[in-house]
């Protein structure tokens, strides 16, 4: 891969210890890194033990505060390439056709601490820092296009409610507890977001297989100064896929770094993940055309009303050199804009503008965090700001003020030099009284929650019902459970009934009095009449794909083997899977040399001891003397039983198919036996559909 400008810049800061003498932080060579300086071999340390002090002082200060939210994250470098011409909409340089811009992306969970599991049921952060020719632009989004609340004022409360409870710091990385649902059941504006968070979107199969959204409506601004509203979408080339909740919980036990490892390994192996950037453009004149408010971050714009135009592609192609220096120290801020993009008056977005800068100042120890290599713009900064903790830039000359004559007015205003266009805020007419209030156009809390639920396939609806039943069952206070079921009843009667059945609650027709009381703090006449909705069902809100539709690229297939397995049988499927871009992993009873029936030996790295069914997408039991060994192997049986439960494709060689009987499993369309010439095609087509959901539906019936 050719280095981009950002990677080149970072290289100047790389330290390579290879073949180098150990030194103190000042570069003084050290020839004893084992013993501190003492008064006699058995005596006390001396105060002048400076080599030890240098080492220990640094160690003692290694930790910095973790992010107050989104603490758990994984990052990667990449490049964004703009492919379409939208110069009529924006002057942003990185959005001009053909421009390639270095990026750094950080994915995260929200609620858990830095060391928590990747597989928590949670929103995923999807932050992109574009190192553009006009400075850094940060698109700090999520994998869900809406948010829990409408005004930033409620954000600390939301976060306090979802984080571990303050008295006992439990539970970790989980929303299934009283304080979260207490808050949510009093905030009906969260209804739409709750549908998304309780859907399988909140437990992605891979960070590479989730969508990203800017969430808020932003503005693009063209050279005439005309603005257009815009919603940003990232669409993954590998499709959108999730795991089941039962899998998520087991993966958390077997490999809590599952997503981090998956991203790292795939980038290392050259399977560079890609997303298309899509835009929904809304002309300024259409601001009030819809039954929802564009400034309300709890609403989407259905793609049927405003189609998503694909304009460019982002590729992640390089892992960080050092987690702390890059993924931990990267500082995102939705207020980092470039000419051609501007904010809207969304009260959530407005509130974010303070919080990110403020938190970075605290977390990264002062106002010079933008000089850290990962945060540095590739366009050199020039201004009169100076000093502060950990300043690294060395400003030349005697002038650090503006205006000046002593430095000929430098650095000068961008507008003074032709080709350098400075940032101009979009000119917008504003009027109004100074108020603390919520617009009545934000008061429809349920129409889009209903739209989301009704746009889901039968299996997706079932998963939402199961998730809500799980979460609310974990709530101890019955009043909270009832209040939330009353909210669900406003969204969809069937949803409320099913969840209610699982909790022994008969849904109330109206919202709980306490919910109404809090909603009326914002809207005294709540509930307000809702406007008619143009769309009752929106296809793109469902993740369901059918057999043969997707891709199997980068999926992991477990070959369940033991000594004596037939190489010919393994290779028959393995070769085709690899040609389709999938990975075949041999799992045997021991790591190390695997003896094939044909006499060949292969060193393998995975065993029934180290691995589990939930870490794989599909399964195959090849022919060979291994089959009889597997018949009595309980771990093997666990593998297949979980694979069956999780609706995955399970293949058997013709001679291995007798194992099905031992496993007491009924053959279905995703249990594939190699007994005709079409079996490999059938196996791959079924894998493309990701899961065989009919199995789960059949099990329910």
**Binding-site annotation: residue ranges for heme:** 67, 106, 155, 352, 356, 363
Tell whether omega for the bond before 527 is within 30 degrees of 0, i.e. cis. Answer: yes
Q: Are 78 and 105 in contact (CB under 8 A)?
A: yes
Nearer to ligand HDE, 77 or 352 (CB): 352
351 binds ligand HDE (CB under 6 A): yes
Q: Is 445 a catalytic residue?
A: no
Element (H, E) at 313: strand 309-318
Q: Does 201 bind ligand HDE (CB under 6 A)?
A: no
Counting contacts by CB under 6 A, is residue 344 touching ligand HDE? no
CB atoms within 10 A of CB 321: 16
Tell me if 483 contacts ligand HDE by CB under 6 A. no
Helix, coil or strand: residue 62: coil
Residue 218 has φ and ψ, to the nearest 5°, of -110, -175
**Cβ at position 106, least distance to ligand HDE in Å:** 4
438 binds ligand HDE (CB under 6 A): no
From 52, 254, 323, 356, residue interacting with ligand HDE (rule: CB under 6 A): 356
Query: Does the protein bind ligand HDE through residue 299 (CB under 6 A)?
Result: no
Q: How far apart are CA 301 and CA 145, in angstroms?
A: 10
DSSP 398-423: S--SSS-STTTTPSPPGGGSTT-PPP
In whole angstroms, how close is the CB of 591 to ligand HDE at the nearest point? 36
Q: Which residues are annotated as a binding site?
A: 67, 106, 155, 352, 356, 363
The reply to whether 50 belongs to the active site is: no
**Out of 222, 313, 359, 522, the residue judged to bind ligand HDE by CB under 6 A:** 359
Residue number with CB closer to ligand HDE (28 or 68) = 68
Q: Segment contacting ligand HDE (CB under 6 A): 55-63, 183-191, 348-356, 440-448?
A: 348-356
Q: List 131's β-bridge partners, or say none.
A: 136
Please identify which residue in 78, 102, 125, 273 interacts with ligand HDE, judged by CB under 6 A. 125
Q: Which stretch binds ligand HDE (CB under 6 A): 42-50, 171-179, 354-362, 449-457?
A: 354-362
Tell me whether residue 56 or residue 437 sits nearer to ligand HDE (CB atom). 437
DSSP, res 540 = G
108 binds ligand HDE (CB under 6 A): yes
142 is a contact residue toward ligand HDE (CB under 6 A): yes
Radius of gyration, alpha carbons of the chain: 28
Tell me, residue by residue from 36 to 75, as one string, x for binding to ligand HDE by CB under 6 A and - for no binding.
-------------------------------xxxx--x--
Distance CA 182, CA 137 (A): 37
Question: Of 554, 572, 588, 566, whose CA–CA distance to 687 is shortest?
Answer: 554
Closest CA to 214 of 150, 90, 300: 300
What is the C-alpha separation between 100 and 102, in angstroms, rounded? 7
Q: Which of 4, 70, 77, 136 is catalytic?
A: 70
Contacts of range 592-595, beta carbons closer than 8 Å, 24 or more positions apart: 594/561, 594/563, 594/565, 595/563, 595/564
Within 13 Å, how many C-alpha atoms sit on residue 399's CB side? 14
CA dist 347 and 344 (Å) reads 9
Residue 353: φ, ψ to 5° = -60, -35
If one asks whether residue 147 binds ligand HDE (CB under 6 A), the answer comes out as: yes
**Stretch near ligand HDE under the rule CB under 6 A, chosen from 76-84, 183-191, 275-283, 352-360:** 352-360
**Binding residue (CB under 6 A) for ligand HDE from 5, 50, 96, 155:** 155
Q: Which is nearer to ligand HDE, 125 or 135 (CB)?
A: 125
Segment near ligand HDE (CB under 6 A); pick from 11-19, 135-143, 218-226, 570-578: 135-143
Contact call for residues 73 and 104 (beta carbons, < 8 A): no
Instruction: State the minimum distance, in angstroms, from the CB of residue 258 to ligand HDE.
Output: 19
Interface residues for ligand HDE in 208-227 (CB under 6 A)? Answer: 215
Q: Which is nearer to ligand HDE, 208 or 695 (CB)?
A: 208
Residue 335 in the binding site for ligand HDE (CB under 6 A)? no
Interaction residues for ligand HDE, span 638-657 (CB under 6 A): none
Cα 532 to Cα 46: distance, rounded to the nearest angstrom: 80
Q: Which residues contact 272 (CB under 8 A, 6 or more apart)?
A: 78, 266, 315, 316, 317
Which residue, 543, 569, 367, is CA-closest to 463?
A: 543
Q: Which long-range contacts (CB under 8 A, 24 or more apart) does 83-88 make?
A: 83/310, 83/311, 83/312, 83/313, 84/309, 84/310, 84/311, 84/312, 86/220, 86/279, 86/311, 87/222, 88/222
Q: For the chain, how many helices (H) and strands (E)?
A: 19, 18
Indicate whether 348 belongs to the interface with ligand HDE (CB under 6 A).
Answer: yes
Smallest gap from Cβ 212 to ligand HDE, in A, equals 9
Please list the residues that pair with 476 across neighbouring strands.
none
CB-wise, 140 or 443, nearer to ligand HDE? 140
Q: Which is nearer to ligand HDE, 104 or 526 (by Cβ)? A: 104
Determine contact, residues 155/223, Cβ cutoff 8 Å: no
Q: Which span (140-148, 262-270, 602-610, 625-633) binds ligand HDE, by CB under 6 A? A: 140-148
204 forms part of the interface with ligand HDE (CB under 6 A): no
Closest distance of CB 143 from ligand HDE, Å: 9
DSSP 501: H
Report how far apart, in Å, the C-alpha atoms of 452 and of each of 235, 334, 432, 491 are: 18, 27, 34, 10
Task: Write down the catalytic residue from 4, 136, 142, 143.
Answer: 142
Q: Is 300 in the site for ligand HDE (CB under 6 A)?
A: no
Q: Residues of 655-692 as b/e, b for ≥16 C-beta within 10 angstroms?
A: bbbebbeebeeeeeebbbbbeeeebbebbbbbbbbbbb
| Dihedral in degrees, nearest 10, Cα atoms 509, 515, 519, 521 | 140
331/582 with CB nearer ligand HDE:
331
What element of type H or E holds 649? strand 649-653
Asked whether position 113 contacts ligand HDE by CB under 6 A, the answer is: no
Cβ-based nearer residue to ligand HDE, 322 or 466:
322
106 binds ligand HDE per the rule CB under 6 A: yes
Query: Of these, 229, 332, 619, 679, which contacts ligand HDE (CB under 6 A)?
Result: 332
- Of 144 and 558, CB closest to ligand HDE: 144
152 binds ligand HDE (CB under 6 A): yes
Could you tell me if 77 and 6 are in contact, meaning their C-beta atoms sit under 8 angstroms apart?
A: yes
| Number of chain residues interacting with ligand HDE (CB under 6 A) | 25
Return the range that interacts with ligand HDE (CB under 6 A); candidates 43-51, 134-142, 202-210, 496-504.
134-142
127 binds ligand HDE (CB under 6 A): yes
> Residue 101 or residue 108: which is nearer to ligand HDE going by CB?
108
When CB distances to ligand HDE are compared, the closest residue is 125
Give catalytic residue positions.
70, 142
- Binding residues (CB under 6 A) for ligand HDE: these are 67-70, 73, 106, 108, 125, 127, 140-142, 147, 152, 155, 215, 297, 332, 348, 351-352, 355-356, 359-360
């Amino acid at each position: 891969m050719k280095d981009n400008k950002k990677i080149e810049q970072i290289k100047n800061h790389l330290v390579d210890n290879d073949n180098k003498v150990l030194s103190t932080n000042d570069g003084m060579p050290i020839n004893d890194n084992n013993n501190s300086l003492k008064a006699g071999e058995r005596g006390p340390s001396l105060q002048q033990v400076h080599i030890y002090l240098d080492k220990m002082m640094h160690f003692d200060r290694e930790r910095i505060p973790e992010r107050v939210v989104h603490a758990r994250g994984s990052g990667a470098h990449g490049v964004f390439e703009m492919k379409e011409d939208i110069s009529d909409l924006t002057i942003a340089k990185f959005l001009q056709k053909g421009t390639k811009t270095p990026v750094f992306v950080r994915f995260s969970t929200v609620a858990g601490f830095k060391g928590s599991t990747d597989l928590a049921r949670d929103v995923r952060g999807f932050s992109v820092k574009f190192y553009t020719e006009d400075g850094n632009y940060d698109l700090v989004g999520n994998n869900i296009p809406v948010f829990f609340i409408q005004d930033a004022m409620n954000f600390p409360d939301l976060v306090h409610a979802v984080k571990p409870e303050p008295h006992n710091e439990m539970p970790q990385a989980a929303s299934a507890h009283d304080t979260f649902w207490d808050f949510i059941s009093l905030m009906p504006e969260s209804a739409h977001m709750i549908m998304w968070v309780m859907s399988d979107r909140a437990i992605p199969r891979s960070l590479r297989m989730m969508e990203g959204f800017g969430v808020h409506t932003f503005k693009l601004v063209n050279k005439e100064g005309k603005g257009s509203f815009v919603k940003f979408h990232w669409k993954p080339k590998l499709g959108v896929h999730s795991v089941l909740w039962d899998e998520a919980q087991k993966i958390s036990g077997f490999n809590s770094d599952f997503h981090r490892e998956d991203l790292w390994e795939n980038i290392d192996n050259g399977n560079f993940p890609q997303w298309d950037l899509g835009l929904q453009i809304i002309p300024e004149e259409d601001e009030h055309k819809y039954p929802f408010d564009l400034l309300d971050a709890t609403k989407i714009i259905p793609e049927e009303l405003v189609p998503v135009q694909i304009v460019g592609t982002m590729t992640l192609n390089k892992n960080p050199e050092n987690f702390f220096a890059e993924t931990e120290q990267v500082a995102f801020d939705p207020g980092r804009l470039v000419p051609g993009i501007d904010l809207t008056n969304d009260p959530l977005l407005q509130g974010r503008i303070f919080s990110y800068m403020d938190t970075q100042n605290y977390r990264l120890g002062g106002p010079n965090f933008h000089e850290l290599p990962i945060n540095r713009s590739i366009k050199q900064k020039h201004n009169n700001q100076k000093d502060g903790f950990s300043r690294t830039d060395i400003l030349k000359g005697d002038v650090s003020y503006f205006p000046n004559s002593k430095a000929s007015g430098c650095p000068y205003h961008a507008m003074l030099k032709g080709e350098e266009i400075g940032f101009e805020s979009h000119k917008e007419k504003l009027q109004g009284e100074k108020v603390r209030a919520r617009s009545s156009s934000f008061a429809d809390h349920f129409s889009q929650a209903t739209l989301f639920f009704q746009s889901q396939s039968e299996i997706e609806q079932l998963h939402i019902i199961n998730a809500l039943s799980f979460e609310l069952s974990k709530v101890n206070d019955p009043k909270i459970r009832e209040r939330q079921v009353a909210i669900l009843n406003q969204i969809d009667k069937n949803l409320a009934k099913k969840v209610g059945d699982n909790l022994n609650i008969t849904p109330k027709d109206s919202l709980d009095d306490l919910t109404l009381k809090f909603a009326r703090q914002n809207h005294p006449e709540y509930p307000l009449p809702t406007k008619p909705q143009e769309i009752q069902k929106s296809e793109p809100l469902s993740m369901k794909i059918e057999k043969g539709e997707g891709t199997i690229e980068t999926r992991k297939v477990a070959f369940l083997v033991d000594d004596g397995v037939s190489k010919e049988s393994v290779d028959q499927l393995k070769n085709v899977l690899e040609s389709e871009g999938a990975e075949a992993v041999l799992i045997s009873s021991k790591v190390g040399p695997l003896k094939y029936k044909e006499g060949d030996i292969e060193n393998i790295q995975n065993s029934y001891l180290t691995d589990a069914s939930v870490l794989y997408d599909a399964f195959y039991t090849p022919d060979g003397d291994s089959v009889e060994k597997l018949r009595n192997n309980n771990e093997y049986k666990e593998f297949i039983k979980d694979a069956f439960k999780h609706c995955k494709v399970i293949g058997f060689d013709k001679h291995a198919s007798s194992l099905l009987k031992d496993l007491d499993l009924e053959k279905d369309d995703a249990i594939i036996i190699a007994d005709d010439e079409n079996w490999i095609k059938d196996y791959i087509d079924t894998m493309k559909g990701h899961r065989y959901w009919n199995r789960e539906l059949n099990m329910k019936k």
